[in-house]
Amino acid sequence: MARDKTLIVGNWKMNLNMGEASLYVHQLSKMVKPHRDVEVILAPTSLVLQSLSLQINPRQFKLAAQNFYWRDQGAYTGEISASQLRGVVQYALVGHSERRHVFHESDKDTRAKVQAAIRNRIKPILCIGETAFERSEGETNDVLHDQLIGGLANITSEELEQVAIAYEPVWAIGSGQNAVPADVTAAARAIRSQIKHLYGEKAANNIAILYGGSVKEDSAADYLALDEIDGLLVGGASLDAHVFNEIIKKAHKPASAGKE
Ligand code: 13P
């Protein structure tokens, strides 16, 4: 995905019911000023995607699915497909650490989902990151390498233009223990170097890389200031519309507002 906008994604996970989601969007829509250099993406429960798609101003917010099944239709009780989400969401999270670790999704599942999203004109945000153990063993770059290769197998250079990568170290998610900016830069460089190896230098320079893991109002700006980082994937701190708005505000760079 091109790096012309900073992407701020709010992943609500399994929080907020229908009434709460609608109230939240009502509140946030009064606060957020649309800017050309910022894309605000909400990833609520699937239950409210359709109603929120009618409630939001599409210039102000985009929607993302937190999950979906990779087949387009069929006898898969309880699942939602990317083809059913088509036209409702513009983005989808794929390979989130909670999908990998709580629901045991493999790289094979992840790759099938990246393909299903692209097939249905939904931009996948491929989430990758190492566990605390892998980090302590010095395996971070190997894990990023394996998850990238695993998730992007069969994706062409042209299709890669639809993909964003989110670096979310598992140990930083929901722990309050966020990665230090220097480590985030190092991980993003490792990701770009792997993309360069797979797709060439242009693709590596062009792909959007987000950081996620215990991002809060007071740490957001530190990550957004990093040259390698093109946005944030925010969990807990996105659940309060006021706090999320403070994070969104940090993404708009008046210096680049010449584009507006
Ligand atoms: P937290 O911001 O709550 O750590 O969650 C991060 C995350 O998993 C976003 O997808």
CATH number for the domain harbouring residue 87: 3.20.20.70
Cβ proximity of 7 and 231 under 8 Å = yes
Place of tokens 């584009």: 259
Domain count, the chain: 1
What's the pLDDT at 260?
A: 40
Q: Identify the residue whose C-alpha is closest to ligand 1 atom 7.
A: 235
Q: Within 10 A of 14 (CB to CB), how many other CB atoms are there?
A: 7
210 vs 216: CA distance, rounded Å: 14
Give the Å distances, CA to CA, from 255 to 59, 76, 96, 154, 258.
21, 49, 33, 39, 7
Active site residue 161: no
User: Could you tell me if residue 208 is inside a domain?
Assistant: yes
Q: What is the pLDDT of residues 152-161, one digit of tens each?
A: 998 999 999 9
Q: Is the pLDDT of residue 256 over 60?
A: no
Ligand 1 proximity of 66 Cβ (cutoff 6 Å): no
CA 185 vs CA 52, 116, 143, 190, 224: distances in Å: 34, 30, 16, 9, 11
pLDDT tens by residue, 93-103: 999 999 999 99
The CA 154 to ligand 1 mean position distance, Å, reads 28
The per-residue pLDDT for 2 is 87
Amino acid 211: pLDDT: 98
Higher pLDDT, 259 or 107: 107
Q: Is 123:163 a contact under the CB 8 Å cutoff?
A: yes
Question: Does position 176 have pLDDT exceeding 70, yes or no?
Answer: yes
**Residue numbers of the domain that contains 52:** 6-258
Q: Within 10 Å of residue 138's Cβ, how many Cβ atoms?
A: 9
Look at the alpha carbons of 111, 91, 41, 19 in this order and tell me if their dihedral is positive or negative: negative
Any atom of ligand 1 within 6 Å of the Cβ of 8 = no
Residue 145 lies in a domain: yes
d(CA 59, CA 49): 16
pLDDT, residue 39, reads 98
Does residue 154 fall inside a structural domain?
yes
Residue 133 has pLDDT above 70, yes or no: yes
Closest residue to atom 1 of ligand 1, CA basis: 235
Residue 240 lies in a domain: yes
SS3 140: helix
126 CA distance to ligand 1 centroid (A)? Answer: 14
Q: What is the pTM of this model?
A: 0.96
In a domain, 1, yes or no: no
Q: What is the pLDDT averaged over residues 222-235? A: 98
* Ligand 1 neighbourhood includes 215 CB (under 6 angstroms): yes
Relative to the CA of 238, which ligand 1 atom is closest?
2
Alpha carbon dihedral 135, 139, 94, 157, in 10-degree steps, equals 140
Q: Which residue out of 96, 105, 130, 145 is catalytically annotated?
A: 96
Asked about 79 being catalytic, the answer comes back as: no
